[in-house]
Amino acid sequence: MPFESRNPATGALLNRYDEHDADMIEEYIGQTEAVFHTWRDTALTVRAAMLHAAAAELRSRSDDYARMITLEMGKPITQSRGEVEKCAWVCDWYADNTERIFRNEHLESDASESYVRFDPLGVILAVMPWNFPFWQVFRFAAPALMAGNVALLKHASNVPGCAMMIEEVFRRAGIPEGGFRTLMIGSGAVASVLDHPAVVAATLTGSEHAGSKVAARAGERLKKTVLELGGSDPFIVLDDADIETAARIGAQSRMINTGQSCIAAKRFILTEAAADTFIPQFLREIAGMKIGDPMDPETRIGAIAREDLLLELDGQVRSTIEQGAELLTGGYRVEGPGTFYHPTVLSGVTKGMTAFDEETFGPVASITVVRDAAEAVDVANDSLFGLGASLWTQDRQHAETLAARIEAGGVFINGMVKSDPRLPFGGIKNSGYGRELSHYGIREFVNIKTVWIA
């Protein structure tokens, strides 16, 4: 059955891609495994040169790659260009820093000399989502390839054009044929790929359901996994916060990528003193965001990636209102072609309501008002998720004290939660485990090997 690439802003068919059958999958895995035996011994300086070449390729054809992102999943074009540039940055960062990260670490023991070295594992399967179709792949692939591993990509079925372009980037950069390979397979074929003896580990960014299935299958075969799953990030605003800046950044954080981001601010937790000022400013910021054609550079809010995702989001909004929340703005689909949804703000959202308990993957913000900072942290932690959190106060010492109590993989004080090649990224609880990026990320898929010399 072919994969269809469709433009969510218009519904138009862009292209069809043939699904790989079992024989082709076996052939590609075999090619990738064969490449590993030479790639692992390729000098770090050579690998680095190829990653720099990948960064240069991304920048030289940025418009082409950004256009494909926008066409396939509806991201505003200016954000797509930013995504491509970020991919180039992560390639450059690992090319420049892996040699330092992988220096032998000498440790004192009863040996005449003992140290730790970092060796690649082999073929890594990456199961990736559609919402950041280039970035999610590159933040895995850049460190994995620099570490000496090779990669198989199972991308989301609605972004096959992006998947093929990413493979082309690495091919143009000089990565050996098969060192990074896209498998055109559905989710039902992931288990058989995980079962293959050549595949030694897997990484997945996606839903809790998908993550638990991959983790269970890999666990049965004693293969390592790294999971980055959903998020329902709290955005906490305390009494003494810079309200104007918090409202502006909060609106950006909630509506970036049309709200289709795991680390977007989703639950706005405001103290009573902050709420009266924050809410009207927040609504004004959102009202000023242009909705429409993702190819228009002025557009801030594009299309929802698929029809079923829009319907699911609308159902969450309606359910939350029925449970007692107040609709402040939005709450309905934009008339006309495409999958557009009006930016929506719900207030009076509490534990037990759909928008509090579940991840809302679209332009929907929920507001909860609390008494004080202590209650704000308790409400923030009262979630199945623990990916990121944003905390707004002008008291730095208080902020750092609260940050230690917030249950999340990252806490951003007076700033928007974001991923950065220099910093470890990942979550706890139902948001997954393991880390990507920084030196922590590249060491996830290596053999941390002790060498002891008498």
> What confidence tens digit (pLDDT) does each residue in 215-244 have?
999 999 999 999 999 999 999 999 999 999
Give the CA angle between residues 10, 13, 15 to the nearest 5°: 140
List the one residue out of 311, 38, 27, 272 whose CA is nearest residue 150: 38
Query: Looking at the structure, do residues 26 and 157 belong to the same domain, yes or no?
Result: yes
Which pLDDT band, with edges at 50, 70 and 90, does 1 fall under? confident
Q: Which alpha helices (H) appear in 61-154, and where do they start and end?
A: 62-73, 77-101, 135-146
Rounded to whole angstroms, the Cα distance separating 72 from 12 reads 10
Please indicate whether residue 262 is annotated as part of the active site.
yes
Q: In a 10 Å sphere around its CB, with 0-12 CB exposed, 13-18 middle and 19+ buried, how is residue 297 labelled?
A: exposed
Query: Looking at the structure, do residues 29 and 177 belong to the same domain, yes or no?
Result: yes
Contact assessment for residue 134 and residue 65, using Cβ atoms and an 8 Å cutoff: yes
Residue 259: the pLDDT is 98
Please indicate whether residue 444 is annotated as part of the active site.
no
Q: Which residues, in sequence order, are bridge partners of residue 327?
A: 346
**Collapsing DSSP states into helix, strand and coil, what is residue 19?**
coil
The single residue of 262, 285, 358, 407 carrying the catalytic annotation is 262
High-pLDDT (> 90) share of the chain, %: 100
Query: Looking at the structure, do residues 134 and 160 belong to the same domain, yes or no?
Result: yes
Query: Looking at the structure, do residues 297 and 375 belong to the same domain, yes or no?
Result: yes
Q: What range defines the domain where residue 126 resides?
A: 3-229+431-453
- Chain segment 24-67, per-residue pLDDT in tens: 999 999 999 999 999 999 999 999 999 999 999 999 999 999 99
Give me the number of domains the chain comprises.
Answer: 2
Query: Looking at the structure, do residues 167 and 34 belong to the same domain, yes or no?
Result: yes
CATH number of 189's domain: 3.40.605.10
Confirm whether 73 is domain-assigned.
yes
Query: Looking at the structure, do residues 29 and 98 belong to the same domain, yes or no?
Result: yes
Confirm whether 83 is domain-assigned.
yes
Which residue is it, tokens 């005449």?
112
- Chain segment 77-89, per-residue pLDDT in tens: 999 999 999 999 9
The single residue of 33, 57, 228, 358 carrying the catalytic annotation is 228
CA atoms within 13 A on the CB side of 207: 11
CATH number of 272's domain: 3.40.309.10
Query: Looking at the structure, do residues 184 and 142 belong to the same domain, yes or no?
Result: yes
Residue 2: the pLDDT is 87
